[in-house]
Amino acid sequence: MITPRLKIGFLCFGLLAGGRIMAGDPVPQDSTHHIKAVSITRQRPLVDYGVQKTEPDSLILEESLLCSLSELLARHSTVFIKSYGSGSLATSSFRGTSASHTRVEWNGIPLNDPMLGQADFSLIPVYFLDRVSLYYGSGSMLHASGGLGGSIHLSSVPQWHESFYGEIIQGAGSFDTYRTMTAFGGGSPHLQFRIRAIHDQSENDFRFLNTANGTWEREQQHSARYRLDGILGEAHFRQGNHKVAASLWMQDATRNLPPIMSYEGKGRKEFRADRQMMANIRWNYYGRVILSRFTSGYTQTGLRYFLGEETDEGFHVTSDSESNTRTLHNQYTLEAGIGESTLLRGTLRNSLQRAETADEQTLAGYSAIRSETEAGISIHHRFNEMLTSYLLLKESLAGREFSPFMPSAGVEFLPLGKESLALKLNVGKNTHYPTLNDLHWIPGGNPDLRPEKGLAMDLTAAFSQRLDSSVTIHSAITGFMTRVNDWIIWQPGEFGYWQAGNIREVLSRGFEYNLITRMIFHPLKMDLYGNYSFTWTTDETTETVGEPERGNQLIYIPVHKGSLTVFLSWSRYRFSYGPDFVGERFTTSAGNPTLHSLPGYLLHNVSGALTFRVWKTDGELRLRADNLLNADYQSVLWRPMPGRSFTVLLKLSF
């Protein structure tokens, strides 16, 4: 017996990420459940027209259940993730921009650290996410400014029709890695609660080939242990035209930071401990012609960083710092429909940021408060079945400084009158404010910094094609160009310490390719996901020091990056295989391809899963092998990454 909810679930499963099933298109038959063909019209929100957006679908999220968001993005998006090692700091480069140029939001509140500007994706468990949306280039401006490369939006989705449900997942893997996750929820069609919790720990003591000290021996990684505990509670309420939701996410992580491969000193201890608390409440009102959204959130983070080393007299503490941030965020969005084809949208956001940092050893530190306010208004209009466009005007204020005016616009053209072929053009100006560290860090912070100014443009051609009743292909190719002026970098300055300055002009251009294919050859079902990005990001500063630097690829940004994942499903079995490729990256701005570059690497990952049902409980047993061919590689210079590893997962849900 297939319930309506299940039917909808199967149909949604067929909606490949970014792909669409058009009105009049027959729905492919599932291999195990035969449902009557129906016609579906999927009306995208008008605000989604003209922007480049991708969403890893539920299959990807399910496969990445044990992963952090950094691993998901690295394998299933064109965003490059720079990782210092398993469980360690992982930051993003979106279209060749820096880590702080990726805006990250969770249920409408920013996750970017006000001090550093970046988000640590290794601290975001995929298990806590129901939906991940990536907005590229100026398309991200519709939600928030500051994402010069793009923005990543993480959101929770309630299960309205479940009265009570729960699951427990236990994972165990190589290097003494254990992950336990559990979720319980339920309620009524009007009120839903859910609690998710995670415990993740690893000795992370993998073996690696040390090529940095002349021994050429395989050594065991040490001082790389990490532990993460998190809990996420949510409540969703809906009545009439109102929806109210509240979320509370608390997390605690401690990570040892191993020295680089060439270290042969007396002994060193380095670790960071992160504490995070994020809470938000959202109220949506769906009127006949208006949509009103209010989001209020509060985030509090604490970071202790410690670095010390053994000396003949005992332990010498080089740094022992404590950094705390608090951010109060409020946002209101009002959308008003004017007739069938026009939408007016206004947004007002404010973030009040407070940061305090102090180092007991160096006595360095600062305390700062900043308010960032942003207002934007946009008009979205569908001219006819073929042409839709938007125009967005935005302005922001940080402290007492207004940003440059930020207009952006997008056009989506459907030359065939349906979404089997779509052409999208986006162009816009964007502004990214200096982080609080850029402004106030002692020593080296520069209160006179100007905001970084971006101009982004992209053109996308998206194809959706159903070859026959069992094969659907969706692919999109996007050419992009992003120019950032007054790019902030830290350089050695007065008295030998590093100082922040508006130094660079950076030009990033390239193209991205995404492919999603689904084939059903009864009883076998195959899903294929592929992506590739070519990113050429160069320093175009005219008055740069040293001409050789100009025109070279920026450090730690690969020109080539691609991945492929194939899922094969048959009855209760599922198998996946996915190679990931990251090309060569320079580690200095000179672009010298000898010692100063990291070779590209290709990783092969496989997994197999078996689903079963016992005692009214659904179960899944999964075996996963990462880096199957045991490749030696580094994401950051002289910081080894794990070789072949295995993970076993048991999931029980009711």
Partner 1 sequence: MRTLSRLFIAALFPVFILMNRQCEEPADGKPAPVAGKGVFICNEGNFMFGNSSLSFYRPDSLKVYNQVFFNANIFPPGDVLQSMTLLDSMAYLVINNSGKILVMNAGTFRHVATISGLGSPRFIEIVDQHKAYVSNLHARSITIIDPLSFEITGTIDVGGTTEQMVRHGEALFATGWSMNNQVYKIDAGTDTVIDSLTVALQPNSIVADRNGVLWVLSDGAYQGAPCGWEWPALSKIDPESFSVMEKFTFPEKNLSPIRLSVNGTGDTIYFISHGWTNASGSGSGVYRMSVDAVRLPEEPFIRAEGRLFYGLGVDPECSDIYVSDAMDYLQPGLVYRYSASGNPLDTFGVDIAPGSFCFRNHSDRTAGT
Q: Is 211 in the site for partner 1 (CB under 8 A)?
A: yes
Rounded to the nearest whole angstrom, what is the least distance from the CB of residue 3 to partner 1 in the complex? 33
- 313-332: which residues touch partner 1 (CB under 8 A)? 313, 316, 318
DSSP string covering 541-574, please? Answer: -TT-SSGGGTTPBPTT--SEEEEEEEEEEETTEE
Which residue of 43, 545, 614, 616 would you call a contact of partner 1, by CB under 8 A? 545
Q: Is 264 in the site for partner 1 (CB under 8 A)?
A: yes
Rounded to the nearest whole angstrom, what is the least distance from the CB of residue 119 to partner 1 in the complex? 21
Which residue of 462, 555, 557, 649 would you call a contact of partner 1, by CB under 8 A? 555
C-alpha 184/C-alpha 166 separation (Å) is 4
Q: 617-626 and 645-653: which strand pairing?
A: antiparallel
E strand intervals along 35-176: 53-54, 80-83, 90-93, 102-106, 109-110, 131-136, 150-155, 164-173
Candidates 265-273, 293-301, 320-328, 372-380; binding stretch for partner 1 (CB under 8 A): 265-273
CA distances from 522 to 28, 30, 470, 572 (A): 11, 8, 9, 14
Nearer to partner 1 (CB atom), residue 276 or residue 597: 597
Q: Is 268 in the site for partner 1 (CB under 8 A)?
A: yes
Structure token pair of residue 73: 């993005």
CA distances from 30 to 33, 275, 529, 604, 622 (A): 5, 45, 19, 29, 22
C-alpha 195/C-alpha 298 separation (Å) is 19
Candidates 75-83, 133-141, 169-177, 257-265; binding stretch for partner 1 (CB under 8 A): 257-265
Candidates 113-121, 238-246, 547-555, 568-576; binding stretch for partner 1 (CB under 8 A): 547-555
Nearer to partner 1 (CB atom), residue 383 or residue 497: 497
Beta-ladder partners of 281: 246, 296
Q: Is 336 in the site for partner 1 (CB under 8 A)?
A: no
Rounded to the nearest whole angstrom, what is the least distance from the CB of residue 559 to partner 1 in the complex? 9
Q: Is 542 in the site for partner 1 (CB under 8 A)?
A: no
Candidates 19-27, 264-272, 336-344, 569-577; binding stretch for partner 1 (CB under 8 A): 264-272
User: ω before 443 within 30° of 0 (cis)?
Assistant: yes
Nearer to partner 1 (CB atom), residue 45 or residue 443: 443
Q: Is 24 in the site for partner 1 (CB under 8 A)?
A: no
Q: Is 339 in the site for partner 1 (CB under 8 A)?
A: no
Candidates 33-41, 106-114, 390-398, 597-605; binding stretch for partner 1 (CB under 8 A): 597-605
Beta carbons of 535 and 96 less than 8 angstroms apart: yes
- 563-592: which residues touch partner 1 (CB under 8 A)? 564, 579, 581, 583-584, 587-590, 592
C-alpha 332/C-alpha 348 separation (Å) is 5
Q: Is 447 in the site for partner 1 (CB under 8 A)?
A: no
Nearer to partner 1 (CB atom), residue 449 or residue 473: 473
- 370-429: which residues touch partner 1 (CB under 8 A)? none
C-alpha 67/C-alpha 72 separation (Å) is 7
- 283-312: which residues touch partner 1 (CB under 8 A)? 309-312
User: ω before 404 within 30° of 0 (cis)?
Assistant: no
Which residue of 23, 383, 593, 653 would you call a contact of partner 1, by CB under 8 A? 593
Q: Is 597 in the site for partner 1 (CB under 8 A)?
A: yes
CA nearest to 198, candidates 178, 185, 181, 183 = 181
First-to-last CA distance in the chain? 17
Structure token pair of residue 66: 């044990």
- 1-20: which residues touch partner 1 (CB under 8 A)? none
Q: Give the total of residues touching partner 1 (CB under 8 A).
A: 72
Rounded to the nearest whole angstrom, what is the least distance from the CB of residue 307 to partner 1 in the complex? 10
Beta carbons of 565 and 529 less than 8 angstroms apart: yes
Element (H, E) at 10: helix 4-14
- 510-539: which residues touch partner 1 (CB under 8 A)? 513, 515, 517, 519, 528, 530, 532
